[in-house]
Amino acid sequence: MVSATKPIELYFWPTPNGRKISIMLEECGLSYDVKPINIWAGDQFAPDFLKISPNNRMPAIIDPDGPGGKPLSIFESGAILQYLGRKTRRFYPTGERARVKVDQWLFWQMAHLGPMAGQAHHFRVYKKPKIKYGVERYTREVSRLYRVMDTQLASQNFLAGRYSIADIACWPWIASWENQGQVLEDYPHLKEWFDRLSSRPAVQRGIAFGHDWTRTAKTASDRKQEWRIMFEQKHSPSTKSDKK
């Protein structure tokens, strides 16, 4: 177990991308403080949060005990997982061949599984009125990705050989299979892998909180609107050219 001098700050909302990091922190035995970023209330547009995560997305972390003993802030869940893996030397091998195996599945999650599953979820659950094209396109693509994982897991217990940050990155997305229009039993090797990870105490601890967090606050939409306007003004092309 690694002992951090001060807890890592985890900027978090209970979504698949957020849960990747809470699971990794639990797996590594690192102490952390959860700072809720209510993405339904617009907290991701708050100026202080944008200093840490300029793409207005959570998760993000601040490690007060970063390289050289100085604080380090990181956004993008893949970068956070790699950093924590390097910091603790856990779930991210140091040998080049083994590390490349992990990286390719980690990038696969970041570039394919996460974005496509997110779109499938959006078109199936949130978009009203339903758009058949969007539902079919993304559900079909997620099915393809599930088959890719199922094939990979037919001959090994974990995506990159041993349990790694690649598995940790994928698991929270597979956990929402129903909202992506999938049936886990249709992918037997993937299901076995899913159950294998689900039984890990650290995974259970990593997903244990946040289920009851309220999605909206009374004043949330005003706050969100205010921050969105500030953000858009700051990033609009006219604002940039005004500065020249």
Ligand X SMILES: N[C@@H](CCC(=O)N[C@@H](CS)C(=O)NCC(=O)O)C(=O)O
Residues near ligand X (CB under 6 A) are 15, 17, 39, 44, 56-59, 76-77
Ramachandran angles phi, psi of 106, nearest 5°:
-65, -45
Which one, 112 or 189, has the nearer CB to ligand X?
112
122, 137 Cβ separation under 8 angstroms: no
Tell me how far apart the alpha carbons of residues 220 and 58 are, in angstroms, rounded to a whole number.
Answer: 17
User: Minimum distance from CB of 17 to ligand X (Å)?
Assistant: 4
Quote the least distance from Cβ 185 to ligand X, whole Å: 26
If the CB atoms of residues 112 and 196 are measured against ligand X, the closer one turns out to be 112
Query: Judged by CB, which is closer to ligand X: 46, or 191?
Result: 46
Residues 6+ apart with CB under 8 A from 100: none
Q: Sign of dihedral through CA atoms 240, 53, 125, 186?
A: positive
The DSSP-derived string for 179-231 is GGT--GGGSHHHHHHHHHHHT-HHHHHHTSSSTT--S--TTHHHHHHHHHHHH
The dihedral sign for the CA sequence 181, 183, 186, 191: positive
Q: How far is the CB of 192 from ligand X (least distance, A)?
A: 26
User: What is the closest distance, in whole angstroms, from the C-beta atom of residue 3 to ligand X in the complex?
Assistant: 26
Is 63 in contact with 8 (CB distance < 8 Å)? yes
**Helix (H/G/I), strand (E/B), else coil: 80:** helix
Identify which of residues 77 and 180 has a Cβ nearer to ligand X in the complex.
Answer: 77
Q: How far is the CB of 92 from ligand X (least distance, A)?
A: 16
Going along 41-179, which residue ranges are E strands? Answer: 60-63, 72-75
- CB closer to ligand X, 138 vs 191: 138
Taking the least distance from each CB to ligand X, the nearer of 59 and 93 is: 59
Instruction: For the CB of residue 76, give the shortest distance to ligand X in the complex, in Å.
Output: 5
